[in-house]
Chain A
Amino acid sequence: MLYRDFATQEELDAQYNLNMIFPDAASLYEAFCERESENVRQELDHSLDVPFGPTLAEHLDLYPAGEKAPVLIYVHGGFWALRTSREFGFVARGPVSAGAATVVTNYALCPRVTVDEIVRQTRAAVAWVYRNAASFGGDPGRIHVAGHSAGGHLVAMLLATDWEGEYGLPADIVKGATVISGLFDLTPFPYTFLQPKLQLTWDQVLKNSPILHIPDSAPPQLVVYGEDETDEFKRQSEEFFEAWRARGLEGERLVLPGKNHYDVIDGFLDAGSPLCSAVLGQMGLE
C-alpha cells in the first residue's frame, strides 16, 4: 500500500484531484470567486496588496469594518499551488456586514516556494495584522482566523505556532479558528498528482502535518466540511477534530449538508448563513 488502503496514485487522485472529480466545477468556481469578489469590492471599502513581508507575494487585502472591530483573517485554498487573495475578497461580505474587519492573506505558491515557506508567510501575515490592526480599525485583541482546504491546513499550522518564543507576540494572539475542509495530514500527497508542484520531502511532510502538532493549549476551533466531499477530505477533518478533542482542546465539528469542496465556503457571502453565523458566533458577533 502507498498510504492507508490506497495502493496506487490513481486511487488517491480519485479522492483529492478535484478537477477529475468535478470536471467543470473548477472553472465555474473560479468564475464565481472572481465575479463575487469584484462585486464585494464594489460594495465595501478595501485596500488591496498591502505588503506584510519582504517578498513580492507577501501582501494582503484589507476590508475594514469601523473602529475597534474584531478581525477575521482568511487564508485561501488551492492545494498550496493555485489562487491568490484577490479571488477571495467575497469572503469579506458576511463578516464585514456583521462588524468584523476581514483580512485576506496572499502567499507565494508551490513549486516556486516550499510548503515550509508558505507556512512562514502565513504566520508573518498574522504577526503583521496584530502589529498593524489599529491602522485599519481592527482590534488586535480579537483576531480570529479561518481558512479553506490548503488554507485550512495553514490555519491549523497557525495554531501550532510558538508566537511568544518565535515572534515575541502574545501566546494567545489567535482567539478562535475555523478550518474548512482542511488538509491536516500531508502524508498522502507525495503519492498524488500534486507532488510535481509541491515537491514535498518527508521532512516537510512531518514538519507541516498539523495532526502531528496538536498544541497543548489553543483557542476554540470550529472544524467544518461539506457533506458531499470525498471520503478522504471528510477523514482529514474528522481525524483532526478527534485528535484536537483528545488533547482536551475546545472545538466543534460542523458538517454542512449539500455542500461540496467548492461551495462549502459560499456562506461567507451572507452573515446569516450557517457557516458565517457559526464563525461570527465564535467571534462574539451573534
Chain B
Amino acid sequence: MLLGIKYEAARIGDVSDEALAGIEEQMKEEVGEDWESDDQVLRGRNAVRREHGLPGLGEPGDRPSPATSVRRPLWRRLLGR
C-alpha cells in the first residue's frame, strides 16, 4: 500500500520523470509486472487521489461515464422490480 501512496503522491507532486521511473521500477521489483492492477497498490494510490479530490482508480469517474440509460441489475430484471 505504501508503494501505491508513494507512487501516486509522486505522480501528483512535482517530481522528475526519473524519480517516478525509479518508483515504477521499485513497484515491479516488489509487487511484480502487474503492479498497476494490484489491490494494495490501488488502495494506496486511491488514498492520495481521494485527498486531492480525484476520482478513484477502478471506480466511477475514472473511466468514461456509463450510458444514461443504465441497465437495471439482473436480479431486478428477473424479479420484475
Contacts and interface: CB of A to CB of B under 8 A. Distances in A.
Interface residues of A, number: 18
A281 B2 contact: yes
> A227, A258, A274: which has the most chain B beta carbons within 10 Å?
A274
B31 to A, nearest CB: 14
Nearest to A279: B2
Contact of A257 (B2, B13, B40): B13
Nearest to B49: A274
Contacts, number: 52
Nearest to B10: A255
Interface residues on B, range: 10 to 19
Contact of A254 (B5, B12, B40, B50): B5
Contacts of A227: 13-14
A272 B47 contact: yes
A98 to B, nearest CB: 13
Interface string A253-282: 111111000000001000011100110011
Nearest to B50: A272
Given A227-B13, A257-B12, A278 B51 contact: no
A11 B1 CA distance: 39
A162 interface: no
B51 A254 contact: no
A278 B10 CA distance: 15
A197 to B, nearest CB: 33
Nearest to A257: B13
B51 A274 contact: yes
Contacts of B1: 277-278, 281, 286
B57 interface: no
Contact of B48 (A252, A274, A281, A282): A274
Contact of A255 (B2, B9, B44, B50): B9
Interface string B36-49: 00001001100110
B52 interface: yes
A255 B5 CA distance: 10
A271 B55 CA distance: 19
B16 to A, nearest CB: 12
Nearest to B15: A255
Given A277-B5, A277-B44, A286-B1, 9 more contacts: A254-B5, A257-B13, A258-B12, A258-B13, A274-B8, A274-B9, A274-B44, A274-B51, A281-B1
Ranked 7 nearest A-B pairs via Cβ: A257-B13, A257-B12, A274-B5, A227-B13, A274-B48, A277-B47, A274-B47
